[in-house]
Structure 1
Amino acid sequence: MINLKMVDSTMQYPGIREVKYTRHAQLLGTGEGMPEKIVTNQDIIDQFNLIASDRAVQYSIGIKERRAVQTGVLPSEYLYKAVLQCCSNANIAPEKIDRIIYAKLVGDQLIPATSLRVLEKIGVRKGIPVMDISVACSGFLHATDLALSCIDTGDDYVLGLGGDRASLDANAEILKDTRTIFLNGDGFAAALYGYSQTPKFICKYFYTDSSIGEFAYIPFGTEFLKEKEKLLTGAFNLTMPDGPKIHQSILDSFQIISSQLLGASGMHWDDIDFIITSDQTSMAWKAQLQQAGIPEYKSCSCFHKYGNTVAAMVPLNLHEAIISGKLQKGMMVMMMGHGAGASGGGFIFRF
């Protein structure tokens, strides 16, 4: 157990364990599938007749615009685009994929899994295993963790997907909460992991804190089956009672994960070439880096143009770092995610 805690937490976090992979994995490529529709701050202000300004929104959370899916287009369609781009960048044919793991928010539907729809769209006719998981902002990290374990036990290529229609909250007419209505955007990303003859992923750490599960939540679920009239009255609204506590929990999580990873690897911050982390706001991203004394050029954030895309935040930042040339082969990377869902996790790996 470790002594570091989240704000207001009553949990004891587990210590880090040594990774014992016998078959190693590496990151082969990434891709994104972004909606074409751009929604500005002013668009939201006008739509909901809010007393706010674009300048004030940019100043308070750092967002200029976000993307929104077209009406009638399902998440699997954008994930399909992300997968094709990812496979192309990795120079691996989709037919070689052994497994798909999708970190979602709501997906296409409850049944069947959205990852099944992705498999259908990419035209693979092998009955490979696919699954959807839901762990909010840290979901892609959990998908990566599962991908590495699957490669360890025999898979050669595993797709990790993240993202969904996070802007559904901004479409809610009932609860126009200006604390959250500008935050979210729609986004989708993919990462392909494959077998490596040499170790690339050096260490990992994950935790869950059930004592702070009410910091941020979306109430939609079976609880609404008893009160059907609520299905159309804010069921998908993001509820965030205390923004400062959320911000502090992000910084606490960054400290917990990074200290565990650095301690297990025997590294220091100077040994890390690049940082990928979840950026719930631009201010949260900058505060994480400042807390560790890391210059902004050693990281990147897409929040200003995409918003909080939940499980797509980390893979979109990863993809942006690669295509921009900031992240080069051979660099040592710390990648982590944390947020609503009261969970977090991360890795140190060589790209």
Structure 2
Amino acid sequence: MKRKVKILGTGSYVPKRVVKAEEIDVLIGKTKGWSEKKSGVKQRFFVENETASYMASEAAKLAIKDAEISLSDLDCIVSASGTNEQAIPCNAALIQKQLGLQDSGIPCFDFNSTCLSFVTALDMMSYAIDQKRFQHVLIVSSEISSVGLNWSQHESSILFGDGACAFILTHSNESSGIIASKMETFSEGAEFSEIRGGGTKIHPRNFSEQTENDFLFDMDGRAIFKLSYKRLTEFLEGLFKQTQLSMKDMQMVIPHQASASAMKIIRKKLGVEEERFMSIIEDYGNVIAASIPLAFHEALRLGKLKRGDLVLLLGTSAGLSIGGIVLEY
């Protein structure tokens, strides 16, 4: 049964600093054009003095304006990010404070399934909204990857960018809603994408020259792609089995912006034409959990999506997890 959830407004924020592919080439000691050819990323944005909660609050303000509601109408704040501003408290509490709502009592909590965090939050919160537990929910993904990249890992570090995207969700009295959702995790791939340090296993107190790489992002992109590609067909069959729909019925497919080469292969595997497959990676890079909502936001901004359109959100994340949502916008 369709969950009655409506995307009422969206907003985005990217840092002021634009980092071109040529700058990355110099940084990692490659010839001009190498990083763009490898990653498909022409530019991305890196923070200078922005924090994740600041970026989130700026994106949230634009989403609130787009939804034509006020800050006081919010009754839940959810952070859906793969990176944390600090260990404690949760990102959502810091976002509440940035929005000037520190005395509001609005409940705040986080979802973290790395690159799938937004999809997970949208999926889980849709049940609460459908049952009218909340009236206006802010879900915001705000990611700062640039501080934790290992520049000696050339093929992974050149993919990422920083940024934030926010959605305002409400109960739908129309046809808008979530039709189906699915998530699967295959922890055989848990070591393919990780930051080992920073938690209780390798605590910050144990940081040293010997452990410093444990505190940086470590990814085997080929292994992730191989495992997720192997599982994708069966996953999608299970997702669409919940519906009377197929891939051909989707007006837009919005994938996680993992890498240009991976997205191209996946698009062909799905049999989806370029005009129905939303790609923003060349202008933003991989913005972790903010990638899918940011691509959705851009599709709306460019007029590629309209009310009533059927949309597939699809992505993978560290874990290794595969997640998808079929929704009517």
Q: CA deviation at 1:240?
A: 2.1
Corresponding residue to 2:59 among 51, 63, 82: 82
**Structure 1 CA distance, aligned partners of 2:235 and 2:11?**
26
Query: Letter of the aligned partner of 1:183 in structure 2?
Result: L
Is 2:216 the counterpart of 1:240?
A: no
Corresponding residue to 2:195 among 195, 211, 218: 218
Corresponding residue to 2:68 among 91, 97, 109: 91
Q: Is the 8 A contact 2:2 2:180 kept in 1?
A: no
Is 2:207 the counterpart of 1:228?
A: yes
Corresponding residue to 1:62 among 23, 35, 40: 40
**Bigger shift: 220-229 or 281-290?**
220-229
Query: Letter of the aligned partner of 2:237 in structure 1?
Result: S
Is 2:105 the counterpart of 1:127?
A: yes
- Corresponding residue for residue 30 of structure 1: 10
Query: Letter of the aligned partner of 2:12 in structure 1?
Result: E
Paired residues, what number? 324
**Structure 1 CA distance, aligned partners of 2:82 and 2:243?**
32
- Corresponding residue for residue 46 of structure 1: 26
**Structure 2 CA distance, aligned partners of 1:81 and 1:98?**
18
**Structure 2 CA distance, aligned partners of 1:289 and 1:343?**
19
- Corresponding residue for residue 140 of structure 1: 118
Query: Letter of the aligned partner of 2:167 in structure 1?
Result: A
CA distance 1:320–1:231, shift in 2 (3 Å): farther
**Structure 2 CA distance, aligned partners of 1:336 and 1:94?**
30
Q: Is the 8 A contact 1:257 1:336 kept in 2?
A: no
Identity %: 26
Q: Is the 8 A contact 1:202 1:349 kept in 2?
A: yes
| Structure 2 unaligned blocks of 5 or more | none
**Structure 2 CA distance, aligned partners of 1:256 and 1:83?**
36
Q: Secondary structure at the match of 1:46?
A: helix
Q: Is the 8 A contact 2:82 2:117 kept in 1?
A: no
Corresponding residue to 2:264 among 274, 279, 286: 286
Q: Secondary structure at the match of 2:167?
A: strand
**Structure 2 CA distance, aligned partners of 1:267 and 1:203?**
10
Length-normalised TM-score, structure 1:
0.86
**Structure 1 CA distance, aligned partners of 2:35 and 2:207?**
34
CA distance 1:95–1:334, shift in 2 (3 Å): same
- Corresponding residue for residue 105 of structure 1: 82
Q: Is the 8 A contact 1:224 1:230 kept in 2?
A: no
| Structure 1 unaligned blocks of 5 or more | 1-18
The alignment yields a C-alpha RMSD, in angstroms, of: 2.0
Cα deviation, 1:83-104, whole Å, max 9, x if unaligned, reads 0111111112121111111122
